[in-house]
Structure 1
Amino acid sequence: MNRATSLPIDLPARAVIVSIACFWIGWIALMSLRAALLDFAEPSDLLVRRIVAALAGAALTLVFWRGLRFVRSDRPVRIALAALIGAIPATIAFACVNWFLFYGWHPPASLAADVARWGYVRVWRYAVIDTSVSWFFFFGGWAILYLFLRAAARSAAAEKASMQAQLRALRYQIHPHFLFNALNALADLVQTGRGDDADRMILDLSALLRRMLSEDDGAPDIPLADEVDLQRLYLALEARRFEHRLRVEIDLPDELADTPVPRLILQPLVENAVKYAVGGSHAVVTIRIAAEADARGLLLVVEDDGSARSDASSGFGIGLANVRDRLQVVYGDTARLVAGSRAGGGYRASIALPHG
């Protein structure tokens, strides 16, 4: 498994530290609230000791976390067992720290009477054994929460890695399809004796492929302006073959230029327009690429004014199936592809993407 798809073995350290801090700050707040509701006369000395105890407890929880990192299983039963077993030494250690802070080291007047009456040994037994029960569930609860959050994070990472693998496979499916069409275009130029145009097309094709492949190892999304620019280069390449028969219109508002879209999502639609509209006609054909935003999200359109297409090209070819599959993987049912003949002639394919 490569670095890009390897699964994390733990939650980010910052998230763990924040969870520990929240637990112990919450404990200080609850104990202070308890004292206020029960009208306990608490000197400020007790609050200071409680804060020191919380700091010690947080340090013990960090040590506990380092031990929990060795638990590799994500099964609920094993997670619970590991959390509860690991909580035992943490509980005993904190109970001893708690006893020392409140009874062993200059106990406040409200607690010194208990020490004088029962003696250090009996008070130690009571304080450690009795408080260990409550502290056991405290440490165990945090550990179970941590392990389940880690399991959820690993599951999400696995799902993301699977989705990226599917998208990568679908994107790579585009490349041979694109090359097949481009090589056919080159063959047409050679057969018609247009050697100079064929030479220039080879250079343009090389530059386009270099850009497509160099960008293909990056993030699955790219700015809409970059995606449209790739299609502009491709159409410029095809224009060498069709000369005056191919016209291109681009309508991309400036405010949508940085909107992220799936890489090469327009490529199959543009290829279809060239293959069926321009290649299947001797008339001048205009291919239009447009983008617009509304309250529902982003709408991408690839349309042409060529002759009507056959049913074989109306939405069940490799290109359109690839686009539909990619939209399903990334967006589920919140995105859609609609393709079909235009009322006034030609063909229109539109992709509706949700916000975000």
Structure 2
Amino acid sequence: MFKRINKYWWCQILGWLVYFVLNCFYYNTMDRSGFKLSDAVNLLIFIVLGILSTHLFRTLINKRNWVVYTMERQILLFFAMVAGTALTLYISYYSLMYFIFDYTRRDLITGVIKDLVSDFVLSFVWWMIYYIWHYIERNRSAQVDQLKLETTVKELELKTIKAQLNPHFIFNALNSIRALIDENPQRARTAITELSNILRSSMQTEKAETVSLENELNIVKDYLALEHIRFEERLNVKYEIDPDTLELQVPPMMLQTLVENAIKHGISRIIMGGSVYINSSLKGMQHVITIENTGQLIENGTKGNGFGLQSTRQRLSLLFGNRASFEIRNKDEQTVEATVIMPLL
């Protein structure tokens, strides 16, 4: 039964109950005549009329959808509601007391002014609480809507980036396979098998914002196996993976993109080939992934601004904000180092 009562009626009941208790306290401590049964009846009648009058004007302004008004109109509406509620409460209370209980005041002018001021103060407090409550609720709803909008935008951006990554990767892989068809058909068939494994894995993780490092490594190993067919002994790969990092979440296709970048812009440009070193470790509350490859960044070119590197920065920013970072640099005269740092939480 109580669960069906909404917040508004709970506030009405509790607020007027507090008003009743305060009046009881006043009569028992400040009034020498004490709190009589007639006082309790009058007070209960006043409270019932107070609930009815405030609810009446609340219903009226809700029907006019007052929350969409400008601030100036809401201020005017506030004072109009205070005055309307106070006058309605005063007139209804004393009309009822006069016609039913034949009640008249001896101190007419002073009593009217005193009671009107009291009703205006009471009405002002009621409407002030009501307005503040709705102001807080609207702000909270606006914040929730803003978060939902930001989440939706983030998801759309991630999907856009992933939609660009897959064709980008497939194009490069098909170029590699095409180079093998005439030279060694058997190796080309093997390359197609490796490519199908990569595509199957990427399709399974396409809808996810993050995947485990272990799944990402499986795609990388298939990709490097495909590339090893093309480079043969010119490509050496070394892994150093902390087992505790295998279940940690990373953006899908991020590691594969960085490894592909190392092959395309590093190993493939060196006649003797080179090495790719992949490291995953924990440093405090951070997950650090390092990829080193033989080669050099071109200082006067678009250093670190290729599509794969840009997509890595964007996805890290979307998923982790400023808690994640990505850096690529020349470690020495023969090695390029790419470092991704992500938070554990």
TM class by shorter-chain length? 0.5 to 0.7
Structure-2 residue corresponding to 1:77: 70
CA displacement at 1:275 relative to structure 2: 1.4
Structure 1 SS opposite 2:254: coil
Once residues 225 and 233 of structure 1 are traced to their aligned partners in structure 2, the CA distance between those partners, rounded to angstroms, is 13
Given candidates 162, 181, 186, the residue that maps to 1:190 is: 181
Structure-1 residue corresponding to 2:32: none
Q: Larger relative CO (CA 8 A, sep 6+): 1 or 2?
A: 1
Structure-2 residue corresponding to 1:234: 223
CA displacement at 1:245 relative to structure 2: 3.1
Given candidates 137, 140, 143, the residue that maps to 1:146 is: 137
Structure 2 SS opposite 1:180: helix
Given candidates 300, 308, 316, the residue that maps to 2:296 is: 308
RMSD value, Cα: 4.9
Structure 2 SS opposite 1:258: coil
Once residues 72 and 154 of structure 2 are traced to their aligned partners in structure 1, the CA distance between those partners, rounded to angstroms, is 27
CA displacement at 1:295 relative to structure 2: 3.5
Structure 2 SS opposite 1:266: helix
Once residues 102 and 275 of structure 2 are traced to their aligned partners in structure 1, the CA distance between those partners, rounded to angstroms, is 94
Change in CA separation of 1:140 and 1:224 when aligned onto 2, cut-off 3 Å:
same
Change in CA separation of 1:142 and 1:264 when aligned onto 2, cut-off 3 Å:
same
**1:227–1:263 Cα contact (<8 Å) kept:** yes
Where does the alignment leave 5 or more consecutive residues of structure 1 unmatched? 1-16, 105-113
Report Cα offsets for 1:269-292 as digits up to 9, x if no partner: 111112133322344633222222
CA displacement at 1:250 relative to structure 2: 2.7
Where does the alignment leave 5 or more consecutive residues of structure 2 unmatched? 1-5, 30-34, 106-111
Report Cα offsets for 1:164-220 as digits up to 9, x if no partner: 22222222222222122101111111132x1122122223212311321332123x2
Structure-2 residue corresponding to 1:10: none
Aligned AA (2:315) = R
**2:235–2:275 Cα contact (<8 Å) kept:** yes
Structure 2 SS opposite 1:298: strand
Q: Structure 1 length as normaliser, TM-score?
A: 0.64
Report Cα offsets for 1:78-110 as digits up to 9, x if no partner: 79949x78x969x97xx99xx99xxx9xxxxxx
Change in CA separation of 1:157 and 1:132 when aligned onto 2, cut-off 3 Å:
same
Report Cα offsets for 1:204-246 as digits up to 9, x if no partner: 212311321332123x222233223322222222223223333
Aligned AA (2:296) = A
**1:224–1:260 Cα contact (<8 Å) kept:** yes
Given candidates 308, 321, 327, the residue that maps to 1:319 is: 308
Once residues 238 and 71 of structure 1 are traced to their aligned partners in structure 2, the CA distance between those partners, rounded to angstroms, is 66
CA displacement at 1:146 relative to structure 2: 0.9
Q: Structure 2 length as normaliser, TM-score?
A: 0.66
**Identity score, percent:** 21
Structure-1 residue corresponding to 2:254: 265
Structure-1 residue corresponding to 2:207: 217
CA displacement at 1:150 relative to structure 2: 0.8
**2:205–2:211 Cα contact (<8 Å) kept:** no
**2:216–2:253 Cα contact (<8 Å) kept:** yes
Structure-2 residue corresponding to 1:207: 197
Q: Give the structure with higher Rg (CA).
A: 2
Aligned AA (1:295) = G
Structure-1 residue corresponding to 2:147: 156
CA displacement at 1:340 relative to structure 2: 1.9
Aligned AA (2:278) = I
Change in CA separation of 1:307 and 1:145 when aligned onto 2, cut-off 3 Å:
closer
Once residues 25 and 283 of structure 1 are traced to their aligned partners in structure 2, the CA distance between those partners, rounded to angstroms, is 84
